[in-house]
Structure 1
Amino acid sequence: MNHRLPSRSLPWVLCLWLLALFLLGTAQDSRAQIQLRGLGSSGAVVTTERVRAELVAHAPEGVTPGRPLWLGLSIAHQPEWHTYWKNPGDSGLPTQLDWQLPAGLEAGAIEWPLPRIIRVGPLANYGYEGQLLLPVPVKVAPDFQAPEGDTLTIRLHASWLVCRVECIPEEGDFTLQLPVRSASAMHAQAFAAARARQPAELSGRSTATVAGDRLQVRIEGLPAALRGTDLQLFPETPEVLEHAALGTQAWEGAIWTASWPLSKMRGETPAQLPFVVTPSKAPDAGPVGWRTVAAVEGRWDSAPVAGVSPALEAALAANAQQAAAPATSGGLWMALLGGLLGGLILNLMPCVFPVLAIKIVGFARHDQDRRRLRLGGLAYGAGVLLSFMALGGLLLALRAAGQQLGWGFQLQSPGLVAAMAALFTLLGLNLAGMFEFGRILPQRWSGAQLRHPVAEAFLSGVLAVAIASPCTAPFMGASLGLAIDMPAAQALTVFAALGIGMALPYVLASWLPGLVRWLPRPGAWMQTFRRAMAFPMFATVAWLVWVLGQQSGIDGAGALLALLVALSALVWALTLAGRTRWVLGGALLLGLLWLGSALGPQLAPAAVAAPGNAPEAGADGWQPWSAERVGSLTAAGTPVFVDFTAAWCVTCQVNKHTTLNRAEVRADFAARGVALLRADWTRRDPAITAALAALGRSGVPVYVLYAPGKAPKVMTELLTPAEVHAALETL
């Protein structure tokens, strides 16, 4: 009986296909941010995944000396996303406009339309959703002389913060050719609507009196139609009032009064405070808001900044310094050692061990040519090493281009998850004995692995890294977190150390056959072992379907299962003989292509539900993570445990079942009043990526205990109940 190595059934064509799909998927995922830079430098429109921004003009008389004209930034927000007013409220940043205008033109300040209150958890922000135009008046000098030509070049650099729950800073460069002698009025309706949303100036007297930790506001001169109705108060000055607090208000005849808590982050007392008031219900006609400047009576005590304790601030600064430390030789050597140990342990992770086991079993053929074994071992090691460096280089390049990414980023793409599920389905069917690649591939392809065993071993290493990429072993997290912020050359040496560590067991076994002398002689057990290894492959497929379900919903998981069934039927048809093989195979191939086009849209990421007024705990007691939530809980004296996780992270799921879901661990959390927050990184989330970077990490799992007044405690990747109990003892 010919007992071939199980690894010989690995098709290098499929391995190259997986690598191509990986590169294609990551390129598609980065398209939006690359588009931002490209469009921003060539026209009047910048489009991102969250907004469409356009530079527009309104000059009904052309560019005439002494006559004003209007420029503006028009922003169309995607559903659930918002940008901010001049006072953003509890969080956020106002939109900034930096003009470059021809001589003789002078831009004024933004005439901000009335905002609305946007509540995110315990915070109250002031901003805009839907369609927005920020108009800017432009003065044309009386002695303005138009340059040669019929147009003026208007340039704008704009930056804005767009938020849903996570916040993403965006910017763009805009260029507009403005006609000098002809009218530009195609956006007249948008500018008229923006002017209608401007607050009217009040002529009555207003005061703001300091009364302890509260501010008493009195506003005179409001229209008589408003008397007895509730109004909304918008302070134009940041960090004066508690925006999310419920102030009290009343009417004293024609005077509207309100009492509001002062902000805990207030600074020095100003002489005046501008306010905008709007009715809770928009009027049928007339102005929709009024602006007044109140004289401040009394002085308040400046309060220290609250929210982040000095210990927490110092710890975050220390983490940032630690991330930069590898620039020194000592830090670099520590990162290299951690990478080497992490790569070694990676072979024992659930997602990697089956591949290594199949390769090691090949040494059961004790009579193999030693030179061939050694060449195969070196080729496998080269495949692992170069793949780690290529993956690291791609990650560093995408981060340098502005992407917020970390280790395991490729499985944040549903398309890549589906491609890997298809690959593992084919490998599982092959190992189970359903087909041999030599029978369904052209003879020239199927014989390639026999003619080029070194290339086959090399591609086996590439496949091993593709399988290992979602995993984070002990020592890996800190090393990768350090590598991300190193110079490129040093960072790549850390990725190389990971590859050396992962490849080392197989390379040593190929060069020192005595290490595997315990393996029995070739026999029927090798075929049995090969078929048994099909089940870990199918288990991996089940896990990938579950991962895609977390990203795209139940319809996406169902679509992927249907496609995998169709793919399996096609493979079975190709094992048949004669004319039946081609007729049935062709029909099934057409059916698979049709099914892919019909069900492919179901694999797209599912929409994220809009957040409510406050995060709600799930049935298991975990709440959605946000940086603001961590800050507010720790400021209130509540300890917080954060689980940075992802559905595609096998180690994360193991830790949930072995530690986090254990009754004694949950009881300890509850007894100490620890808030449980889960940062789900299954789909790309720049806010979570930034938080991981602040902790000196670039991938999941990461477990952090935040205790008020203490530095955050980052735990190991393989979490144990004893480690959690020990950390809670320090509270």
Structure 2
Amino acid sequence: MRFPRLFAACLAFAAPLLALAQPAPAGTVTTPQVRAELLAHAPDGVQPGKPLWVGLQITHQPEWHTYWKNPGDSGLPTELAWTLPAGIVAGDIAWPTPKRIPIGTLVNYGYEGTVLLPVPLTVTPDFKPSPFSGEVPVKLKATWLVCKKECIPEEGEFLLKLPVRSTTALNGPAFDAALAAQPKPALPDTGIVTASSARIDGDALALTVQGLPVQLRGKTLDFFPELGEVIDNGARWTQAWNGAAWTARVPLSPQRSASPGVFPVVVAADGQGWRSELKVAGTWPAVAPPATVSPALEQALRENAARPAAPAVGFATALLFALVGGLILNLMPCVFPVLAIKVVGFTRHADDRRGHRVSALAYTAGVVVSFLLLGGVMLALRAAGEQLGWGFQLQSPAVVASLAVLFTLVALNFAGVFEFGAMLPSSVASLQAKHPVLDAFLTGVLAVAVASPCTAPFMGASLGLAISLPAVQALAIFAVLGVGLALPYLAAGWIPAVARMLPRPGAWMETFRRLMAFPMFAAVAWLVWVLGQQSGVDGAGALLAMLVALSMLVWALTLRGRARVALGALALAALVGVTWTAGGAITRPAPAGAVASSDTRWQAWSADRVGQLVSQGQPVFVDFTAAWCVTCQYNKKTTLANPEVLAAFDAGRFALLRADWTRRDPAITAAITQLGRSGVPVYVVYRPGRAPVVLSEVLGVEEVRAALSDL
């Protein structure tokens, strides 16, 4: 087999590890909804006793908003988690005064436009700056919920390095404005006055706030409770002035869950707020019972609990499923060309029985070790809290692009554009002949790399069990999966009857080798499409340009004399230029709405949406899928597009939900795990009052129709 196996296999071996590489934290995170930036204000450097502020500034797109510390009837407050050097302590967010954001009958409290959430940092005497650096690293992991009509949870990791001795005062005006917008304490302005208070008045709370500025008297004020689930935010309330005291009567929430002794509030006018802690007098009414689910959903949950649990896949069965699933992986369009050419290579040296056996064992070792490495990385990351499953590395655009480069090189080699020996010095090119065992081992690594996007029948149940087992048993399942993938080559090497079934060598072998280039080129086209789902059309276009320049470089290196030097230099310059100017588009997330679904039958999945539909008595069919999953795309274009299946969906009034796992999504990972699976595809039928029904990975029309019509 004359293609650059050493280079290609090493690249394939490294590809899963690229999924672990996360973008380095920066000072700014931009999404289609907001631009979030970590700012600092240290006018006297980082010194004990000196003022030091940091804060997250969020600039919202028009009509989008994030939330205050009490978000109101819905929403979540922005959360900031700091990683700071020893001796530096972060305080609480100095929340600016929010605004009321009514949505239908609900009222939320939050921010639109641009808001800075400042946080004071205290530099204690224990702070010791690094003697090797004059900078202090400030790391922030922030999470926020940004809403318009829909809500999108977002997060970002930020890093700033502040000089210890030099001033950092560029953002001073922004911090001054944010701190000025923070509510001021409401204090008595003259004489002896009655303290501010709150009093239980039937089903309402009567408020009295003293000590407000004189210029506010007579004005209508906004009112913001700092505690949630106490008052009815959307109900009508009244306010009035009684001399210097501002009074209000605010209805209590029917779902009130707290009875505080002190009720802190903020009153505001023209964006400026004043804060007062009101001591509550009187007896709180009884707290409302916890919110209950609808009767339909409660009945469904009760029936589900009464149903016996489906028998779990046993360990021995999981091993058998892993073996069969690994064997079926050999039929995948990416794996088959590599395996076919390797096996057909036996016919070149039919009498070298011992060499074939050693090569088969080395290939098997490469496959099994790669599966163990991939499985070990996945299990380790899950143990560390990451929500990952089978195929997790394909959720990284960098890995998808690396595989596209690998497949392009393999396809060009199969097509006869270049030979390994002609591209490298003789000492390197002869490594394949000198080390056939290493060559076979690395071919096994390559087979795993090209098989990783696929989930074969029987694999789902076995891998779903693996993630719940102790590490040793889980890795045993991955090892048996590798044995299944290597089994055809192992059989050809060790069973003479299988080797005798192979065709005799001849000119047909070169034709067959070149024919196998086309499945590899098809795989490249598919990977470019996958990247387009992840990074948009700009990312796909950048990858295509890189592959064209790479192909030209490979071709140029096969030439002789001056043409090789001149065209090689031109191709290398084109490759470097494309990578430098457009390479960033490959890993950049696609803009919201850039990849739209052409099938209007399907809605976006969410766990809440499934529960809502089922509680309303509607059956649901969920397709857990990903653009990089070959089996998913096959099922989508065949069984799920079959007129009989679509008619069955319509007849049963099924809601069709699609959970797209192309990029990492912890919610989807958690849902898949609960169903006893670790990767896609997963197809599930939900009905009121019944346990979910999980279908097989490779769908058949009759299987789906039977599942949909099961009463």
Question: Is TM-score (shorter-chain normalized) higher than 0.5?
Answer: yes
Which of 289, 309, 312 does residue 302 from structure 1 map onto?
289
Q: Which moved more, 1:709-718 or 1:284-293?
A: 284-293
Matched, 1:678 2:658: yes
1:545 match: 528
2:413 match: 430
Which of 11, 19, 22 does residue 17 from structure 1 map onto?
11
Distance 1:148 1:517, change over 3 A: closer
Any gaps of 5 or more consecutive residues in structure 1? 1-6, 36-44, 139-145, 211-215
Matched, 1:190 2:175: yes
Residue type matched to 2:56 in 1?
I
Q: Deviation at 1:674? A: 3.0
1:3 match: none
Q: Secondary structure at the match of 1:29?
A: coil
Give the structure-1-normalised TM-score. Answer: 0.75
Matched, 1:162 2:149: no
1:75 match: 56
Show CA shifts across 1:560-609 (max 9, x none). Answer: 11221122222222222222222222222222212221221221223442
Q: Secondary structure at the match of 2:621?
A: strand
Distance 1:415 1:137, change over 3 A: closer
Q: Deviation at 1:376? A: 1.2
2:602 match: 622
1:361 match: 344
1:468 match: 451
Q: Deviation at 1:420? A: 1.5
1:372 match: 355
Distance 1:51 1:332, change over 3 A: farther
| Residues in 1 aligned to 2:500 and 2:643: alpha-carbon distance in whole angstroms | 44
Which of 594, 603, 609 does residue 586 from structure 2 map onto?
603
Matched, 1:720 2:700: yes
Distance 1:58 1:419, change over 3 A: closer
* Superposition pairs of residues 525-536 of structure 1, within 5 angstroms: 525-536=508-519
Query: 1:114·1:199 contact (CA, 8 Å) conserved in 2?
Result: no
Query: 1:550·1:647 contact (CA, 8 Å) conserved in 2?
Result: yes
2:645 match: 665
Q: Deviation at 1:537? A: 0.7
Matched, 1:645 2:638: no
Give the structure-2-normalised TM-score. Answer: 0.76
Show CA shifts across 1:286-325 (max 9, x none). Answer: 548998788788657524433895688799999xx999x9
Which of 426, 438, 451 does residue 455 from structure 1 map onto?
438
Query: 2:91·2:119 contact (CA, 8 Å) conserved in 1?
Result: no
Q: Which moved more, 1:484-493 or 1:386-395?
A: 484-493
| Residues in 2 aligned to 1:71 and 1:668: alpha-carbon distance in whole angstroms | 64
Which of 103, 117, 136 does residue 133 from structure 1 map onto?
117
| Residues in 2 aligned to 1:85 and 1:610: alpha-carbon distance in whole angstroms | 30
Query: 1:316·1:695 contact (CA, 8 Å) conserved in 2?
Result: no
1:39 match: none
| Residues in 1 aligned to 2:580 and 2:139: alpha-carbon distance in whole angstroms | 41
Q: Deviation at 1:91? A: 5.3
Q: Which moved more, 1:523-532 or 1:539-548?
A: 523-532
Q: Deviation at 1:646? A: 1.2
Matched, 1:586 2:569: yes
* Superposition pairs of residues 259-274 of structure 1, within 5 angstroms: 262-263=254-255, 267=257
Query: 2:620·2:655 contact (CA, 8 Å) conserved in 1?
Result: yes
Show CA shifts across 1:196-229 (max 9, x none). Answer: 332776969776764xxxxx777788967765xx
2:545 match: 562
Distance 1:85 1:444, change over 3 A: same
Q: Deviation at 1:657? A: 1.1
Distance 1:604 1:677, change over 3 A: same
Matched, 1:490 2:473: yes
Tell me the C-alpha RMSD between the 2 structures: 5.3
Distance 1:503 1:488, change over 3 A: same
Q: Which moved more, 1:648-657 or 1:426-435?
A: 426-435
Q: Deviation at 1:385? A: 0.4
Distance 1:21 1:147, change over 3 A: closer
Q: Secondary structure at the match of 1:704?
A: strand
Distance 1:483 1:385, change over 3 A: same
Q: Secondary structure at the match of 1:678?
A: strand
Q: Deviation at 1:387? A: 0.6
Q: Which moved more, 1:628-637 or 1:196-205?
A: 196-205
| Residues in 2 aligned to 1:601 and 1:527: alpha-carbon distance in whole angstroms | 39
Query: 1:87·1:237 contact (CA, 8 Å) conserved in 2?
Result: no
| Residues in 1 aligned to 2:360 and 2:305: alpha-carbon distance in whole angstroms | 44
1:387 match: 370
Show CA shifts across 1:513-544 (max 9, x none). Answer: 31253333222322221121111011001101
1:4 match: none
Show CA shifts across 1:68-90 (max 9, x none). Answer: x9997733458689576245754
Matched, 1:29 2:12: no
Query: 1:638·1:673 contact (CA, 8 Å) conserved in 2?
Result: yes
Q: Deviation at 1:446? A: 2.2
Distance 1:285 1:392, change over 3 A: closer
Show CA shifts across 1:442-486 (max 9, x none). Answer: 222222212222221111111100001111122322332332344
| Residues in 2 aligned to 1:46 and 1:609: alpha-carbon distance in whole angstroms | 18
Residue type matched to 2:144 in 1?
V
Q: Secondary structure at the match of 2:457?
A: coil
Show CA shifts across 1:173-199 (max 9, x none). Answer: 9999999xxxx9996973663453327
Distance 1:132 1:415, change over 3 A: same
Residue type matched to 1:369 in 2?
D
Query: 1:378·1:507 contact (CA, 8 Å) conserved in 2?
Result: yes
Query: 1:74·1:131 contact (CA, 8 Å) conserved in 2?
Result: no
Query: 1:407·1:700 contact (CA, 8 Å) conserved in 2?
Result: yes
* Superposition pairs of residues 503-522 of structure 1, within 5 angstroms: 503-522=486-505
Show CA shifts across 1:663-719 (max 9, x none). Answer: 333333344343322222212223333333333332211223333444333332222
Query: 2:116·2:174 contact (CA, 8 Å) conserved in 1?
Result: no
Distance 1:586 1:682, change over 3 A: same
| Residues in 2 aligned to 1:366 and 1:107: alpha-carbon distance in whole angstroms | 71
Which of 324, 335, 338 does residue 321 from structure 2 map onto?
338
Query: 1:270·1:296 contact (CA, 8 Å) conserved in 2?
Result: no
| Residues in 1 aligned to 2:636 and 2:421: alpha-carbon distance in whole angstroms | 42
Query: 1:77·1:131 contact (CA, 8 Å) conserved in 2?
Result: yes
Q: Secondary structure at the match of 2:21?
A: helix
| Residues in 2 aligned to 1:473 and 1:675: alpha-carbon distance in whole angstroms | 27
| Residues in 1 aligned to 2:310 and 2:655: alpha-carbon distance in whole angstroms | 27
Q: Deviation at 1:347? A: 1.9
Query: 1:58·1:191 contact (CA, 8 Å) conserved in 2?
Result: no
Q: Secondary structure at the match of 1:429?
A: helix
Residue type matched to 1:162 in 2?
W
* Superposition pairs of residues 19-168 of structure 1, within 5 angstroms: 19-23=13-17, 25-29=18-22, 74-77=55-58, 85-86=69-70, 89-90=73-74, 92=76, 95=79, 112-115=95-98, 131-133=115-117, 161-163=143-145, 167=153
2:398 match: 415
Q: Which moved more, 1:254-263 or 1:584-593?
A: 254-263
| Residues in 1 aligned to 2:457 and 2:303: alpha-carbon distance in whole angstroms | 22
Residue type matched to 2:181 in 1?
A
Query: 1:360·1:506 contact (CA, 8 Å) conserved in 2?
Result: yes
| Residues in 2 aligned to 1:590 and 1:413: alpha-carbon distance in whole angstroms | 27
| Residues in 2 aligned to 1:199 and 1:313: alpha-carbon distance in whole angstroms | 49
